[in-house]
């Protein structure tokens, strides 16, 4: 029988099937997720509060759309580049025009957060630029959720900045960026968020009680990675408005 499927159609069908089966994952109870996170943390010799509250289940959490996550990732990266130029005092006007043009090219001009908007309209503070620079790590969490980064389960060092830039910069537009992404399932994302939430307790405890063991976790990297993960299931559109309590 003649095969009427083109190679492109066949690949699309295979991808759709794989995406479907990747999402058929048994429901994980919040209690079981906490137990797994606690076991991992204690196994690493990091301080653990075993009764830290449960996080949302996949029945309660609503994951932001694939489109919204891609938009946030691109807009975030372009804003970071402007923030870095501001911080390094490298030709604000020229830099602003460049990244405004890239926001338009990638169709994310309307996807900026309030701090990011202030960078582009010239009303920013020095702290705004610093805060946006640090969102490299929140952006890295989004890249992980989009399947572009393999693992973020141990936030002890800053992200690979060169790769972080290339994953957007080497594409010729939003469609090309989206084509390389494969959104992870909700249970996998909640697993990673739960782990970061419990790591965060340890680093906050370290701040209050210096004898607390956190090994080589980087508190700043951890907090920003958690911010990105929290945003994925938050009702807030601006991740600077998300509570980071533990």
What are the tokens at 57? 């289940």
DSSP 173: S
Record the pTM: 0.89
Which pLDDT tens digit goes with each residue over 156-208?
A: 999 999 999 999 999 999 999 999 999 999 999 999 999 999 999 999 999 99
Which pLDDT tens digit goes with each residue over 12-26?
A: 666 556 555 555 568
- pLDDT at position 55 is 97
| Helix, strand, coil % over all residues of the chain, rounded to 5 | 60, 0, 40
Between 178 and 5, residue with greater pLDDT: 178
- pLDDT at position 2 is 45
Q: What's the rounded mean pLDDT across residues 204-226?
A: 98
- pLDDT at position 35 is 98
Cα–Cα nearest to 71, from 159, 201, 191, 181? 181
Instruction: Check if the beta carbon of residue 221 is closer than 8 Å to that of residue 233.
Output: no
Q: Quick one: pLDDT band at residue 1, thresholds 50, 70, 90? A: very low
Q: What's the rounded mean pLDDT across residues 33-46?
A: 98
What are the tokens at 49? 């509060």
Q: What percent of the chain has pLDDT over 70?
A: 90
- Average pLDDT score, the chain: 93
Residues with Cβ within 8 Å of 122's Cβ and at least 6 positions away in sequence, in order, are: 92, 96
What are the tokens at 194? 């739960």
Which residue carries 């604000």 as its tokens? 92
Which pLDDT tens digit goes with each residue over 108-167?
A: 999 999 999 999 999 999 999 999 999 999 999 999 999 999 999 999 999 999 999 999
Residues with Cβ within 8 Å of 55's Cβ and at least 6 positions away in sequence, in order, are: 30, 33, 34, 190, 193, 194, 197
Q: What's the rounded mean pLDDT across residues 36-48?
A: 98
């Amino acid at each position: 029988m003649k095969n009427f499927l083109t190679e492109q159609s066949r690949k699309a069908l295979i991808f759709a099937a794989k995406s479907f089966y990747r999402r058929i994952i048994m429901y994980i109870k919040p209690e079981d997720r906490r137990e797994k996170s606690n076991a991992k943390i204690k196994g690493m010799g990091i301080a653990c509060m075993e009764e830290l509250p449960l996080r949302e289940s996949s029945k309660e959490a609503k994951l932001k759309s694939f489109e919204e996550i891609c938009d946030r990732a691109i807009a975030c990266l372009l804003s970071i580049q402007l923030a870095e130029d501001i911080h390094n005092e490298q030709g604000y006007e020229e830099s602003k025009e460049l990244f405004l043009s890239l926001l338009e090219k990638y169709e994310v001009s309307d996807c900026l957060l309030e701090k990011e908007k202030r960078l582009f309209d010239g009303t920013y503070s020095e702290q705004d630029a610093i805060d946006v620079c640090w969102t490299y790590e929140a952006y890295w969490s989004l890249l992980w959720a989009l399947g572009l980064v393999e693992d973020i389960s141990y936030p002890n060092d800053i992200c690979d900045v060169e790769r972080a830039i290339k994953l957007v910069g080497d594409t010729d537009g939003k469609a090309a960026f989206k084509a390389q992404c494969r959104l992870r399932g909700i249970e996998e994302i909640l697993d990673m968020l739960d782990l970061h939430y419990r790591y965060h307790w340890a680093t906050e405890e370290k701040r209050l009680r210096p004898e607390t063991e956190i090994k080589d976790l980087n508190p700043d990297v951890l907090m920003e990675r958690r911010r990105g993960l929290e945003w994925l299931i938050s009702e807030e559109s601006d991740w600077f408005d998300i509570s980071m309590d533990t």
